[in-house]
Amino acid sequence: MDMLKWKQDVISNPVKKAVPVLSFPVVKLMGINVRQLLSDSDTLAEGMKILADRLPTLASLSMMDLTVESECFGASVEMYDDAIPAVSNTIVHTLDDAKALRVPEVGSGRTQIYIDAIEKAKKRITDRPVLAGIIGPYTLAGRLIGMSEIMMASITDPAMVQTVLEKATEFIIAYARAYRDAGADGFVMAEPTTGLISPKLARKLSHPYTKAVIDAVQTREYIVVYHNCGESVVKMTEDMSAFHAEGYHFGNCINMADILPHLPADSLVMGNVAPAEQFCVGTPEGITENTREILEACDKYPNFVISSGCDMPPTCNWDCIDAFFAEVTRFYQQKVK
């Protein structure tokens, strides 16, 4: 698929489709738990197909499981029935640990399940792009070093952090190429940890590695959507624009109308209805109002696409999900009358 043409068509069309980061809530529709959903590629692909058939999304997104890559490097992962997987230990504590860290083969651990799922989903979903999900370099390094530890080490031991980042980037590039070979139309690269550090540190220890991934894999047929749900992104717009990603996705801790003017007009900019507060514990009435407010504030930007602020937990309320889509449809129907 010509993804640059697809992107331009989205921007030029006054009527937009929503593209929430919606994957794990499909367990309620399938009558299974998260552990079962992630057990094999057929189940993952079927979950994506069910969501595509049920919802008028702009694209089909794979499960945003940010433990897959960490597990390949040797981290332990806890699997749950009703929550997303979580990394349960750290494996890099010193520069020597970082130097000894082995870059795993793509296909090891659970990566092959996800690659195969994308290949199968692409064959079943033919009316919209199919995007994979991959962790970003700094966030992967944070999983291996520890979240609080990488914040400190970024200041006190940057050599250790950079050593891990180099290996994380090498693996992510290979993983992204495997998704491309499997037929994916692109991927969402999740870098939430970068949103927790200062713009100065991000410029040194995150952005160069993010750009290296994008430069290595993005093509006309295969795009990258950069996701960062941190509050500090509003101070990183110049650096992020230099990524030349075809899409940017932001969390609900910022105001989308504040960041849109500072990002490339020819890139899609997506966000940012709160996944927990609105989709999980909110009400249909509340999410309808919040969705309308965001749409009204951002509609003057042709490259804006309404989305969730981050990945939705498996416990999300389907009444709220349906209300979100209904309001998006209603808003654009009224716009073109």
Encoded tokens for 238:
């110049």
pLDDT of 33: 97
Residues 6+ apart with CB under 8 A from 275: 21, 252, 308, 309, 310, 311, 312, 313, 316
Residue-range definition of the domain harbouring residue 159: 3-335
Burial string for 37-62 (b: 16+ CB within 10 Å, else e) reads bbeebebbbbbbbebbeebebbbbbb
Q: How many domains does the chain have?
A: 1
18: left (phi over 0), alpha (psi -120 to 50) or beta: beta
Residue with tokens 């109002």: 289
Cα torsion 326, 185, 166, 78: sign:
positive
Contact of 321 with 279, CB cutoff 8 Å: yes
CATH number of the domain that 75 lies in? 3.20.20.210
pLDDT of 337: 76
Encoded tokens for 324:
């979100």
Nearest residue to 104 (alpha-carbon basis) of 144, 142, 132: 144
pLDDT means per 10 residues, the chain with 337 residues, are: 98 97 96 96 98 98 95 97 95 98 97 98 98 98 97 96 99 99 98 94 97 99 96 94 98 95 98 93 97 97 96 95 98 90
Beta-bridge mates of residue 186: 131, 223
Encoded tokens for 89:
């230990």
Number of neighbours of residue 64 by Cβ within 10 angstroms:
21
Give all strands of the β-sheet with 223-228 in edge-to-edge order. Answer: 60-61, 130-135, 186-190, 223-228, 247-250, 268-273, 304-308
**Identity (one letter) of the amino acid at 249?**
H
